[in-house]
Amino acid sequence: MEQATEALLHADLRQAEEVIAGREQVGVMQRQAEDHAFKLLALQSPVAGDLRAVLSCLQNVADAERMGGLALHVVKIRRQGSGAVG
């Protein structure tokens, strides 16, 4: 999000493109975190504290995904301002 904001504020198209390119990596990390959490829940016998920790992590993953979407939107605004297509 920080990099996307800087790209917008400084009219930095190169940095905007880096954010867009990195978006896929965020998605991969999200899927890995979710898979790991579900495996923990399925293969272990978690107690209440463990469940709270896993659910908190899943919520953090969802928040990160939303921030990634917002960052993508911000840099696409920057690209539109430069006349780039995408």
CB 54 within 8 A of CB 46: yes
Amino acid present at 11: A
Q: What pLDDT, on a 0 to 100 scale, did the predictor assign at position 32?
A: 93
Overall number of domains in the chain: 1
Which percentage of the chain shows pLDDT scores above 90?
Answer: 7
Range of the domain at 70: 2-82
Tens of pLDDT, residue by residue over 31-72, are 999 999 888 888 888 888 888 998 899 999 899 888 888 888
Q: pLDDT over 70 for what percent of the chain? A: 94
CATH of the domain at 62: 1.20.58.220
Compute the chain's Rg from CA coordinates: 17
Is the CB of residue 71 less than 8 Å from the CB of residue 1? yes
